[in-house]
Amino acid sequence: MFGRSIYVPENPALIGGSPQAVHEQLWAQGKRRRLQVRGALAALGLVIGTVLVDVWFGLLAAVAVAAVDALYYLRQRMASSVWRKGQRGERRTSTLLRLTLGWRGYRVLQGRNVPEHGQIDHLVIGPTGVMMVDNQAVAPDTDIASYQGTLYVDERSGAKMVAALRARADATAALLAERLGGEVAVEAVAVIHGGRLARGLVEAEGVTLLRMHRLPGWVRGQRTRFSPEQVATIAEAAHRLPISRQAIIVR
């Protein structure tokens, strides 16, 4: 096709008919409706503010209501941006971990591989333990919640996904134990980009699923387990884990 690069592979997320392309079309089609609703809300704020106080307060209320509505939709777009670009979120999470934990006594390894279990996006090693962090980008209308300890994704069981993450974390722990000569627990964590995650953090079946911005606080909020010397020893052993050939970032 004219204009297509033979050197840069196509991104399936940007091809017409893909979920992302359809979402973009629907978003563009809904722009007029969003502006109409925003205008109606602002007008309502103007009327109520004027009646209750005065016209200047009414104008301020109108601007505030319009700004809140605009921020609401901006947040929605930002939350789904990784999914819309056909990405998984490794780069964003990597940058966040480096800026927030790298100088607090934590070691962050990227792009390791666990034979027969897949790739580790990020391995966080610090005073509060060892966390294997995976990235999951989902559609904006995907509901993720836990009910009686079981994960549900759009009312379907997410047991297969959490079982795979838990198995990868356990395999990572086994590899570290071989190198260290002692057991080291590895927590399984999934950073969810997009979707609707109940309360921003869900714990189910031994896996913690949370929003990216909550990850640093959650990591630091766990109980202290290791001394700086132990962190260095575990990190040295983890450095010898195989590097993933599919990894976007390797450190």
What are the structural domains, with CATH classification, of the chain?
12-84 (no CATH), 90-238 (3.40.1350)
The per-residue pLDDT for range 110-146, each reduced to its tens digit, is 999 999 998 999 999 999 999 999 999 888 889 999 9
Q: Is 112 helix (H, G, I), strand (E, B) or coil?
A: strand
pLDDT for the residue 21: 75
The whole-angstrom separation of Cα 152 and Cα 162 is 10
pTM for the predicted model, two decimal places: 0.78
Instruction: Please compute the mean of the pLDDT values over residues 59-64 and round it to a whole number.
Output: 96
Of 40, 25, 195, 218, nearest to 129 by C-alpha is: 218
Q: What angle do CA 183, 187, 189 make, to 5 degrees?
A: 160
How far, in whole angstroms, is CA 170 from its chain's centroid?
Answer: 22
For residue 144 the two structure tokens come to: 């993720």
Instruction: Please compute the mean of the pLDDT values over residues 44-66 and round it to a whole number.
Output: 95
pLDDT for the residue 218: 97
